[in-house]
Structure 1
Amino acid sequence: MNRLLRVLIALAAYGFFKEFKPSEPYLYEFEHETLNISSEDLSSRVYPVWTYSYLIFLIPVFLLTDILLYKPIIVAEAVSYLACWILFDLPIAKSVLTQQIIEVLYGAASATEVAYFAYIYVVVDRSMFKRATSISRAALQAGKFTSYTIAQLIILLDWGNYYTLNYIATGSLALGFIASLLLPMTSWRTAYERRFPIKEGEMRKEEPSYGIFVKRLVMTLWKDAIAMYTNSFILKWSLWWALASCVDYQVSNYAQTLWGSVQTEDTQYNGITEAIVPLIAFPTVLLMEKVNVRWHLWGEATLAVLSLIDAGILLLSGLTPSIFVMYGCYIVYRVLYEAMITIAQFNLASHLYKDSFGLLFGLNTFVALALQTILTMIVADKKGLHLPIRTQFYVYSGCHVVISAIFIGAAVFTAIRYCQRGDVVEMDDEARTENSSVKEEERGEVEAEHF
């Protein structure tokens, strides 16, 4: 078994175990019914903390992920998740303060997930990016499907209670922590050579060290960010990533609250609903490897149409009195997001001229979280409008209408350019990416003169 295969297996195992949390589909019921925390406190005092802590932790994460070479951040994610579920199992979990601490830890775990998605691209060749993206995301879906299916069976057949689900999740997250320790540490020397290459036949001014690697990373951080977002292709997909993820986070965070507004004891099928999402998403993200679309030409139109569909789905979720229609809307919405975020991740990684994956993914997620923080403060927080849960979903639907309008405009602009210049559009974009890479390498060599 070669090293690459071992790394992929270890990464997939970690992804599986960290998402094997059978209690997730029933956290609202657990907190509300078992811990006796009111729905209002959960909606306005507990759940918003996740958004704020996620945003705060993400700043050091996207700055340090590339510097610390990914694995330490992945281990931090495993520790944070494990700490969350240990607290769930303790008697002190009944207080709002403890639940807020859990949300802080969950926010830290969510922020450090950036390293998981970035790590894969520094251990595989660019020719493997598409396959590696599908495999890593499929592992997450497999973990979710298996755990949510088990959760539904345990609750439906009365094999245990919500604490049973928590104990299983704690054990799985402990295995995830072990799996994170088994991931090989990436070499700073390899990262240095890939990040700051020199032309063939030339010699470096001095022997590099980890200190020099960190210093150069810090010095080029701002320039790397500017270079990434001045590439129109990266900017387009990053914009969608941020806007769509913002709404997706809100929907995921408050879906159970919406369901709880109409649920009875005979209609609690959260587990099977959450399980169906990865069941469909698992083969879907794997099939994304086979999708060959000229995203330079059709990307904006695809994103515009899907955003309109998402808007309709969320509007129906807020209007319907049927829990089963809500379940169906949630399934379709989440599968569409998983499919498109997989495509976005691959497209961004493929067009990135440097190994700044942690920086790019972190910045995109940071923008998404900043927008979600604003949305949460206005829509859900007690200090804002504190809208009823159904009205919140009308707002989320409107957000997707705005996203669609943005990309309709972008699609029209691309169509006009294409009609005027034909296939040159796509070639020009690719050429700009290559030219940016060359210029960045040349700039790196100039900066090396200072060391």
Structure 2
Amino acid sequence: MNRLLRILLVLAAYGFFKEFKPSEPYLYEFEHETLNISSEDLSSRVYPVWTYSYLIFLVPVFLLTDILLYKPIIVAEAVSYLVCWILFDLPIAKSVLTQQIIEVLYGAASATEVAYFAYIYVVVDRSFFKRATSISRAALQAGKFTSYLTAQLIILLHWGDYYTLNYIATGSLALGFIASLLLPMASWRVAYERRFPIKDGEMRKEEPSYGIFVKRLIMTLWKDTVSMYSNSFILKWSLWWALASCVDYQVQNYAQTLWGSVQTEDTQYNGITEAIVPLVAFPTVLLMEKVNVRWHLWGEATLAVLSIIDAGILLLSALTPSIFVMYGCYIVYRVLYEAMITIAQFNLASHLYKDSFGLLFGLNTFVALVLQTILTMVVADKKGLHLPIREQFYVYSGCHVVISVIFVGAAAFTLTRHCRNGDPLLREEEQTESSSVQEEIRVEEQEHF
């Protein structure tokens, strides 16, 4: 077994175990029914803490991920998740304060997930980026599906209670922690050579060391950031990443609260619903490797169409009195997001001519979290409008309408400019995406140096 395959397997195992948390689909019921925390406290005092914590922790994460070479951040994610579920199992979990502490740790774990997605691009060649992206994301979906299906069976067949789900999750997260320790450290020397290449025939002015690597990373941080977002392709996909992720985080955070407004004891199918999402997303994400679209041309149009579909799905969720329609809307919405975020991640990684993956993914997520924080404060927080849960989903639907309008305008501009240049919109023989990306990167490198 070659080294690359071993790394992919260990990373996939870590991704699987960290997502194998059977209690997640029933956290609202566990906190509300078992721990006797009111729905009002959960919605306005507990769940918003995750957003604020995520935002605060993300700043040091995206600044340090590339410097610390990914593995330490991944281990920190594993530890944060494990401590979260250990606290769930303790008697002190019944207090709002403990739940807020758990949300702080969960926010820290969410922020450090950037390293999981960035790590693989440092250890594989660019030609394998699309496959590596699909595998790493598919591992997450496999973990979620197995986890949520297990949860539904345990609850439906009365094999255990919510505490049983927590104990299983704790054991899985312990295995995830072990897997994170088995990941090899990324080589700072390889990262240095890829991040700071020299022209043919030139000699380096000084012998590289890890200290010099860190120093140069810090010195070029602002320059790299400006350079990344000066690329219009990276800018548009980053904009979609931030806007769509902002709404997706809110939907995930408050979906169980919406379901709880119409659920009865006979209609609690949260587990199977959450299980269907990764069941469908798993093959969808893997198939993204085979999708060969001229994203520089059709990307904005695709994002505009999907955004208006998302708006309709969320509006239907807010209007329907049926829990089963809500479940169906949630499944379609989440699968569409997982498919498009996989494409966005691959496109962004492929168009970076420097290995600033942690910086780019972290900044995009940071912008998403800033927007989500504003949305949470205005819509859900007691200090804001504090809207009822259905009205919150009207707002989330409207956010997708705004995203669609933005990308309709961008698509019209791109396609019009393309036609004016005399290039056909459709070609009988397409240049492969990877070859066009490599040419674009080569041109950017020449312009940079």
**Shorter-chain TM band:** over 0.9
Q: What CA distance in whole angstroms lies between the structure 2 residues aligned with 1:267 and 1:106?
A: 28
Quote how far apart the aligned CAs of 1:248 are. Answer: 0.0
CA contact (8 A) 2:352 2:441 kept: no
The equivalent of 1:421 in structure 2 is: 421
Quote how far apart the aligned CAs of 1:31 are. Answer: 0.2
CA contact (8 A) 1:244 1:400 kept: yes
Quote how far apart the aligned CAs of 1:201 are. Answer: 2.1
The superposition leaves residues 266-290 of structure 1 with CA deviations (integer Å, 9 ceiling, x where unpaired) of 0000000000000000000000000
- 4+ runs deviating over 6 angstroms: 427-445, 447-451
CA contact (8 A) 1:77 1:112 kept: yes
Quote how far apart the aligned CAs of 1:203 are. Answer: 1.3
CA contact (8 A) 1:227 1:436 kept: no
Structure 1 residues 106 and 32, CA gap change in structure 2 (3 angstroms) = same
CA contact (8 A) 1:285 1:339 kept: yes
Q: What CA distance in whole angstroms lies between the structure 2 residues aligned with 1:134 and 1:5?
A: 14
CA contact (8 A) 1:74 1:115 kept: yes
Quote how far apart the aligned CAs of 1:226 are. Answer: 0.3
Structure 1 residues 441 and 396, CA gap change in structure 2 (3 angstroms) = closer
The superposition leaves residues 158-189 of structure 1 with CA deviations (integer Å, 9 ceiling, x where unpaired) of 00000000000000000000000000001111
Q: What CA distance in whole angstroms lies between the structure 1 residues aligned with 2:428 and 2:65?
A: 28
Structure 1 residues 444 and 68, CA gap change in structure 2 (3 angstroms) = farther
Structure 1 residues 382 and 214, CA gap change in structure 2 (3 angstroms) = same
Unmatched tracts of structure 2, length 5 or more: none
Instruction: Report percent identity of matched pairs.
Output: 90
CA contact (8 A) 2:263 2:323 kept: yes
Q: Which moved more, 1:436-445 or 1:291-300?
A: 436-445
Quote how far apart the aligned CAs of 1:209 are. Answer: 1.0
The superposition leaves residues 50-97 of structure 1 with CA deviations (integer Å, 9 ceiling, x where unpaired) of 000000000000000000000000000000000000000000000000
Q: What CA distance in whole angstroms lies between the structure 1 residues aligned with 2:101 and 2:258?
A: 23
The equivalent of 1:370 in structure 2 is: 370
The superposition leaves residues 381-414 of structure 1 with CA deviations (integer Å, 9 ceiling, x where unpaired) of 0000000000000000000000000000000001
The superposition leaves residues 321-374 of structure 1 with CA deviations (integer Å, 9 ceiling, x where unpaired) of 000000000000000000000000000000001000000000000000000000
Q: What CA distance in whole angstroms lies between the structure 2 residues aligned with 1:154 and 1:139?
A: 23
Structure 1 residues 194 and 95, CA gap change in structure 2 (3 angstroms) = same
Unmatched tracts of structure 1, length 5 or more: none
How many residues are aligned here? 447
Q: TM-score when scaled to structure 1?
A: 0.94
Does residue 444 of structure 1 match 2:436?
Answer: no
CA contact (8 A) 1:312 1:397 kept: yes
Once superposed, what is the RMSD of the aligned Cα atoms? 3.5
Quote how far apart the aligned CAs of 1:443 are. Answer: 15
Quote how far apart the aligned CAs of 1:221 are. Answer: 0.4
CA contact (8 A) 1:145 1:277 kept: yes
Quote how far apart the aligned CAs of 1:441 are. Answer: 14
The superposition leaves residues 261-311 of structure 1 with CA deviations (integer Å, 9 ceiling, x where unpaired) of 000000000000000000000000000000000101110000000000000
CA contact (8 A) 2:292 2:432 kept: no
Q: What CA distance in whole angstroms lies between the structure 2 residues aligned with 1:247 and 1:127?
A: 32
Q: What CA distance in whole angstroms lies between the structure 1 residues aligned with 2:253 and 2:273?
A: 15
Structure 1 residues 33 and 114, CA gap change in structure 2 (3 angstroms) = same
SS of 2:448 mapped into structure 1: coil
The equivalent of 2:80 in structure 1 is: 80
Structure 1 residues 240 and 216, CA gap change in structure 2 (3 angstroms) = same
CA contact (8 A) 1:353 1:434 kept: no
CA contact (8 A) 2:353 2:441 kept: no
